Chain A
Amino acid sequence: MVNKRSLQKIISGLVVAPSFAASLYFVYGFILWTGYLSLTKSRLFPNYQFAGLVSYARVWAQDRWHVAIGNLAIFGSLFILICILLGALLAILLDQRIRIEGALRTIYLYPMAVSFIVSGTVWRWLLDPVVGIQQFMRDHGFPNFDFAWTQNAHLAVYALVIAAVWQSSGFVMAIFLAALRGVDQEIIRAAYLDGASLPRIYMTIVLPSIRPVFLTAIVVLGHIGIKSFDLVQALTAGGPGYASTLPANFMFQMTFGQSELGMGAASAMMMLFTVMAIIVPYLYSELRGMGKERRG
């Protein structure tokens, strides 16, 4: 007699199966495909003959790639650092029983609701030499004020940071604020009674106790940073020249712009490896924690 309870489990498995199959094909399958392509000499069309690391070598031979990587390092580290500092600062300040907290939270977070293309577009004009902030400041008594970073090959990448921080620090603020609200009040009262000043309490007690949130923030921001593509397109289009290009733009350019599929695939794989190096250990420790909960 068929056990009707195991039938339920079969149905359950069948329900999840399409998503799982989609994941196998569209995620894992595709990654393998891209990976294989990265080991070929494909140009306009895929050429499935194995060619070793030729395409990788060609990528590394491009000055454009070196610029992109350098930019990613600068952009990534600044972006993460400033977002965390700003987000933490805003969260701590908002935690002080501010009357307009709701309104302020809404203001800090709304940038997350819009596309990176939109924010890139707006900041592009804000950083325009004639129309934007630079001219405004010059008209108001700062004749040598220079803020047209998007036109400057050395400073363009920092323009990216400004726009990206604007877009994403609200998110850091939101998760920090949620974490701060979960801190045990009694420990803080005890420290206050012991004579610790408020800033000291934050630095030595509160912030260390929400360490996991720092990690989450870094991981998520890192992920956003590595994927950054839209922002560059809209803000600087990678320019001037390719001074502010990032690996994601490089990949797109190679694949859809210059018909160099092998190099596109190679750069994509390198992006993937970088992301995996951060995410996989993180996910592994999270899932292990989950597994332990289950048996509890």
Chain B
Amino acid sequence: MAEAMVLAGRSSGTAVFGRILVYGILLLFAAYFLLPLFFMVATSLKSLEELRQGTFLSLPSHVTFWAWWEAWVDGCEGVQCGGALGGHFINSLEFTIPAVLISTALGALNGYALTKVRFPGANIVFGMLLFGCFIPFQSILLPMAFTLGKLGLASTITGLILTHVVYGLCFTTLFFRNFYVTVPDELVHAATIDGAGFFSTFWRIMVPISLPIITVTLIWQFTQIWNDFLFGASFTRGNAQPITVALNNLVNTSEGVKRYNVDMAAAMIAAAPTLIVYVLAGKYFIRGLTAGAVKG
């Protein structure tokens, strides 16, 4: 598309104006997108006194990490809260990492099984699995709460891991399935003739060539699970809550002074891991978005 712009026949005046317009609009929207981030960072670094004086767009006159410390160590006051954000951050880590790894591993195995060693009815199974990606989770909250209670997993990290694995399987299976469809069947045939069975072929041949999709899946799952609020709010209480729930509790307490620098610091703490992942491996993130949405 860009090529067309370079063709001759447009007066240099309109061409320049066109470019200015394009850049202008793009930068304007860049400001819209960046504004909240700026606000978040700047505010979180301000002291309480500065909050009273300044307006939101100003930079902190002296940078202080007081709000960050407050959020991490003291957390929120009030009845609803589960205490220091630091503990909740650890909670999130404790269930996110296992859930990401398990759901990715299972997704890879499923994807391989469904495409390369197709058993009768594989397509139907896949379709049924896929459906799970689309349901609003409100429709399973109640039964899940009961089930977790019955299993003794209410308000536990293990319960959250189970939940996130079960409901993450459809996405991870979809990603790997779409990827393995593009791998030639002949590769598996050659391995079969060479005597490699199901797991040998999977481990020694499919996995080594799956690095791109593994990365995409890990990043996607990490983002989805770390950022989840609904499951955390529904299935955990108090000390076991993930950081997203703790953040919401913090923000929604109406008691005391408006310590919104603490709110912003807390928001930054909650957002930091996924933001860091995004900055470091953004292109895989984008691939995950477009692959999952456009369905291969």
Q: Is the CB of B25 within 8 A of A89?
A: yes
A121: which B residues are within 8 A, CB to CB? 247-248, 251, 263-264, 266-267
- In the complex, the answer to whether B110 meets A15 with C-beta atoms within 8 Å is yes
Query: Is A166 within 8 A of B33, CB to CB?
Result: yes
Q: Which residues of A contact B263 (CB under 8 A)?
A: 121, 125
Tell whether, in the assembled complex, residue B136 and residue A275 are in contact, meaning their CB atoms are under 8 Å apart.
yes
The yes or no answer to B252 lying at the interface (CB within 8 A) is yes
CB-based closest 5 A-B pairs: A115-B227, A97-B2, A12-B117, A113-B278, A30-B143
In the assembled complex, B260 has its CB within 8 A of some CB on chain A? yes
B281 to chain A, nearest CB (A): 10
Residues 157-179 of B, flagged 1 when their CB comes within 8 A of A and 0 if not, give 00000000011011001000000
Verify B264–A125 contact, CB threshold 8 A.
yes
Q: Is A29 an interface residue (CB 8 A)?
A: yes
A171, A252, A269: the one within 8 Å of B293 (CB) = A171
A126 touches B36 (CB 8 A): yes
Query: Which chain B positions have C-beta within 8 A of A192?
Result: 4, 7
18 other contacts beyond A19-B129, A23-B132, A131-B51, with CB at 8 A cut-off? Answer: A13-B119, A15-B198, A16-B122, A33-B143, A34-B139, A90-B29, A109-B282, A110-B37, A115-B229, A118-B244, A166-B33, A217-B293, A220-B293, A230-B230, A275-B136, A276-B134, A286-B295, A290-B123
Q: Which of these binds chain A: B59-67, B203-211, B284-292?
A: B284-292
Min C-beta distance of A113 to chain B, whole Å: 4
Per-residue contact bits, chain A 26-47, to B (CB 8 Å; 1 contact, 0 not): 1111110110010000000010
Q: Does A10 contact B (CB under 8 A)?
A: yes
**Contact across chains for A20 and B198 when beta carbons are under 8 A apart:** no
Those of A101-123 within 8 Å (CB) of chain B: 104-123
Q: 19 interchain pairs (CB within 8 A)?
A: A8-B117, A9-B118, A10-B119, A11-B199, A12-B113, A90-B26, A96-B5, A107-B34, A115-B227, A117-B267, A123-B36, A126-B36, A201-B4, A226-B136, A229-B138, A230-B229, A234-B251, A268-B138, A271-B136
In the complex, whether A243 has a CB less than 8 A from a CB of chain B is: no
In the complex, A216 Cα to B296 Cα: how many Å?
A: 12
A294 to B124, CA, bound (A): 14
B4 touches A189 (CB 8 A): yes
How many A residues face the partner with a CB closer than 8 A?
A: 114
Residue of A nearest to B6 (CB): A97
The answer to whether A113 and B223 have CB atoms under 8 Å apart is yes
Partner of A9, one of B3, B119, B140: B119
CB within 8 A of A114: which of B3, B129, B271?
B271
| A9-B130 contact, Cβ under 8 Å, with A22-B166, A106-B282 | no
Binary CB contact string for chain A from 135 to 162 against chain B (1 if under 8 A, 0 otherwise):
1100100000000000000000000000
Q: In chain B, residues 185-210, which have Cβ atoms closer than 8 Å to a Cβ of chain A?
A: 192, 197-199
Interface size on B, residues (CB 8 A): 99
Q: Which residues of A contact B140 (CB under 8 A)?
A: 26-27, 30-31, 34
* A37 touching B142, Cβ below 8 Å: yes
Given contacts A10-B119, A131-B56, A198-B4, contact A261 B142 (CB under 8 A): yes
Among B22, B143, B173, B198, the residue within 8 A (CB) of A34 is: B143
Partner of A108, one of B6, B30, B197, B290: B30
The dominant DSSP class at the B interface is helix
B85-129 interface (Cβ within 8 A of A): 106, 109-110, 113-114, 117-120, 122-123, 125, 127-129
Q: Contacts A98-B22, A252-B138: A19 and B169 contacting too (C-beta < 8 A)?
A: yes
Known: A125-B264, A272-B136. A27 touches B233 (CB 8 A): no
Between A97, A117, A230, A256, the greatest number of chain B beta carbons within 10 A of the residue's beta carbon is seen for: A117
Closest residue of chain A to B132 (Cβ to Cβ) is A27
| Docked complex Cα distance between A135 and B57 (Å) | 10
**B39–A125 touching, CB < 8 Å:** yes
Contact between A132 and B56, CB atoms less than 8 A apart: yes
Is A74 at the interface (CB under 8 A from chain B)?
no
User: Which of A122, A123, A248 has the largest number of chain B CB atoms within 10 A?
Assistant: A122
Bound: A20/B123 CA distance, A: 12
A279 at the binding interface (Cβ < 8 Å): yes
Give the residues in chain B near A53, CB-CB below 8 Å.
none
Residues of B contacting A178 in the complex (Cβ-Cβ under 8 angstroms) = 290, 294
> 1/0 per residue A188-202: CB within 8 Å of B?
110010000010010
A86, A174, A227, A287: which contacts B137 (Cβ < 8 A)? A227
A12 near B119: Cβ-Cβ < 8 Å? yes
Bound Cα distance from A26 to B12, whole angstroms = 63
Measured CA separation A174–B234 after assembly (Å)? 32
Residue contact A180 to B1, C-beta cutoff 8 Å: yes
| A20 contact from B6, B33, B128, B192, Cβ within 8 A | B128
